[in-house]
Every structure is written in C-alpha cells, then in structure tokens.
C-alpha cells in the first residue's frame, strides 16, 4: 500500500526551502516533478493532499489502512 502525498509545485517548493537540511536542493524540484510517474490504478494507494491539516491527514490515512487491513491500530501524533 502506497501513501501518495500530492501537492502543487508552489507548496512543495515552499516546504522544501523552509527545511534545514541538505536532502535535496529546491533547484531540483522542477525536474523531479517533470519525471514523476504517478501510481497506476492497479497499484494500491491512498491519495493524500499535503495541504490537509496534519492530524486529520494522519487520522484519515490510519482509518483507510485499518479499513483495508481489518486490524485495529493505535496512533499518536507525538511520533510524527
């Protein structure tokens, strides 16, 4: 199961530029988005809008994973 975090280039660029690490320079974002291959319909995934509030986003992902797996899961945002 993939969790597909989807967002527009401006939002991703703003978040990337506010990070304090050297993971990836913002100058590479355009090429990464240009070559990004979205998931196919036969690939199990949960699409998530990165603009969604964090707690709601996590709760929705967990609820969908529980629905798919049928298992009860405990969550805590303190671990995020």
What are the tens digits of pLDDT across the range 12-66?
A: 999 988 888 777 888 899 999 999 998 998 998 999 999 999 999 999 999 999 8
Ranges assigned E (strand) in the chain:
2-6, 45-49
pLDDT-derived band at 1, boundaries 50, 70, 90: confident
pLDDT of residue 34: 95
Q: Give 62's contacts (C-beta < 8 A, 6+ positions apart).
A: 73, 75
- DSSP label of 2: E
pLDDT of residue 18: 87
CB-count exposure of residue 45 (10 Å: 0-12, 13-18, 19+):
middle
Rounded to two decimals, the pTM is 0.69
- Geometric angle at alpha carbon 13, from 9 and 52, rounded to 5°: 70
């Amino acid at each position: 199961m993939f969790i597909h975090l989807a967002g527009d280039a401006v939002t991703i660029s703003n978040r990337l530029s506010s990070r304090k690490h050297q993971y990836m320079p913002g100058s590479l974002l355009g090429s990464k988005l240009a070559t990004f291959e979205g998931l196919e319909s036969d690939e199990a995934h949960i699409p998530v809008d990165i603009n969604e509030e964090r707690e709601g986003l996590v709760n929705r992902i967990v609820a969908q994973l529980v629905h798919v797996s049928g298992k009860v899961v405990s969550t805590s945002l303190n671990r995020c």
